[in-house]
Amino acid sequence: MTPQETLSPFVIGETWSKDFQLGSNEQGIISSTNASPIVLTVNQAGFFYANGNSVLVAGHNNDAANGVWTVSGVTQGTLALTGSTGSGVGGQTGYVADVIDATSGTVYLFLLDSFNSDKPIFIFTSNGSPVTPLLERFAYTGASQLGTFTWNDRATCDFSCSLTIAQGATLSPYAGNNLYGLLYYIDSNGVSQVEERLIIPIQ
């Protein structure tokens, strides 16, 4: 199942920005310990992860667990985050995933008017191309480059995207509805390693 997340809304006339970090073999966290090291319980830890792997933990309510860690003590259903110390017992929130080294791949973020659309409104890409509106899908009067893609740490597929929609933009029929994002990491062999779906309200 493709992960799906609802993001903070676009507000017309303001700059929208979002930090992302992509991982593969994503598994939902069932619980975590308030201990040192933190031990995560997931559905199939032993199937996806091995001792010494680097993993990304995100969105978990044991806040100290979030980040990039080396794992140890992997069993069928648990893994420990080496060097961590819990900030409280964690419940069923967030996920753990293998870290992606994106030094030789490309990230794409397509913003569309539906998940089924084949005509993006905006395209972000990590290859340095400017973010511009595709005018057949979006009536806009303003600067040609509206957004940026910035690597925070390419070795862990950590990056930021920003986009400004000016007051002069014509968003109808999008205003009051949603934009839909498809986020991909394509490795150096042209193979898609991860896909996420995003929902972005427009205000």
Q: pTM of this prediction?
A: 0.78
Return phi, psi of residue 48, to 5°: -100, -30
User: 16 and 108 in one domain?
Assistant: yes
Quick check: 46 pLDDT over 60?
Answer: yes
Model pLDDT, residue 1: 43
Q: Which of 60, 7, 47 is nearest to 178 (CA)?
A: 7
User: 76 and 27 in one domain?
Assistant: yes
Residue 130's domain spans which residues?
Answer: 4-20+102-201
User: 114 and 184 in one domain?
Assistant: yes
Model confidence at 136, in pLDDT bands (50, 70, 90)?
very low
User: 75 and 30 in one domain?
Assistant: yes
How crowded is residue 85: how many other Cβ atoms within 10 Å of its Cβ?
12
User: 69 and 9 in one domain?
Assistant: no
Model pLDDT, residue 60: 94
Model pLDDT, residue 141: 45
